[in-house]
A = this chain, B = another copy of it.
Amino acid sequence: MDIDRDLLLLMLRRMWMIRNFELKVMEVHSAGEFAGGAHPYIGEEAVAVGACAALEDTDYIAGNHRSHGHPIAKGGRVDKAMAELYGRVDGYCKGKGGSMHLADYSIGILGESGILGSSVPVAVGAALAASIKGEKFVSLAFFGDGASNQGALHESMNLASVWNLPIIFICENNQYAVTTSYADTVAVEHVSDRASAYNMPGILVDGQDAIAMYEATASAVGRARAGDGPSLIEGLTYRFEEHSLGLGRVRRGEYRTQEEIDNWRKRDPLDILEHNIISQGVATREECDAINAKTVEEVEKATEFARNSPFPEPSDLFDDMWADPIAFP
């Protein structure tokens, strides 16, 4: 596939944005600037960015607890995301959702779910709407290797297949669910092998390679828009950091070796994309560095925005419960 220069640079920009957002989150979280947990996406940027690069604003995504990468990859705003982590009124959810529940309905980000597997049927529903209405939008569901064992996945893939829905299931196989290796919990070698049980294509992709993720997703999106039904894509990737901030009990190296971590870090998705971009003459090292620097700046501004945004007022507590309001008991 021949990828547009702009798209490559957009991917690079978004990947840097995620990386720098997450680095900042780790910094301000350890400085105690906000309290809730957060699950860094560092190391996995190519999966969400490659996948979302194949989508339009009118397409939908739904995600999970490891939640900052998906919305940024879909074009979400870092200022509203950061303000949400800070629990401020200018956050995406006015501070009500926090790290695990970013959403931006203006650009098809249906929201991240803290209950694993639980957003996948919801994504199926968006695709169902496309099918009923005869419209061309598609839907994309992110879930982890751990969540792939949830019953919700089985039901969702089966529904999508029998109804021939325009949805792409993206398994982010970072090989662990917290401390548990996927080899110990997934009965089959690759999650993507399960696609055959639903009569849909199952594609195993190098999740460190944004271009590979883009190409696989673009082709699945093409199928979906053409009415050829769902696909399952597994991006094989790795979480460079620990499972979550604020879950202090799990020490690095306790469930995976330093050697394994080091080896995977050598396959940093940003290095891989930059190498491709530079070697193909799409941009220079300096231009790549400038993109990185620009995102550092944006993240910095976003953090200032978050810090300066006010907290909600106690009287806001009852807002947003109901669309057609009722008296509170």
Binding site for B on A (CB under 8 A): 149-155, 157-158, 161-162, 184-189, 193-194, 196-200
Contact = CB atoms under 8 A, between A and B. Distances in A.
A184 B162 contact: yes
A187 B155 contact: no
A153 B194 CA distance: 14
Contacts of A155: 149-151, 154
Given A158-B185, A188-B196, 9 more contacts: A149-B158, A153-B154, A158-B186, A187-B197, A187-B198, A188-B197, A188-B199, A193-B197, A196-B197
Nearest to A189: B199
Contact of A154 (B154, B162, B185): B154
Contacts of A198: 187-188
Contact of A187 (B161, B186, B189): B161
A200 B188 CA distance: 9
18 contacts: A149-B155, A150-B151, A150-B154, A151-B151, A151-B152, A151-B154, A154-B155, A157-B187, A158-B185, A158-B186, A161-B187, A187-B200, A188-B197, A189-B199, A193-B196, A194-B197, A196-B196, A196-B197
Contacts of A196: 188, 193, 196-197
Interface of A is mostly: helix
Contacts of A185: 158, 162
A21 B188 CA distance: 42
Contacts of A153: 151, 154
Which of A152, A186, A187, A189 has the most chain B CB atoms inside 10 A of its CB? A187
A80 to B, nearest CB: 34
Nearest to A200: B187
Contacts of A162: 184-187
Nearest to A155: B151
A184 B158 CA distance: 11
A159 to B, nearest CB: 8
Please provide the 7 A-B residue pairs with the shortest distance between their CB atoms, ordered closest to farther. A151-B151, A154-B154, A161-B187, A197-B197, A194-B197, A187-B198, A187-B199
A157 B194 CA distance: 13
Contacts of A149: 154-155, 158
A193 B185 CA distance: 21
Nearest to A161: B187
Contacts of A151: 150-155
A193 B199 CA distance: 10
A184 B164 CA distance: 11
Which of A152, A157, A158, A186 has the most chain B CB atoms inside 10 A of its CB? A158
A61 to B, nearest CB: 22
A153 B197 CA distance: 13
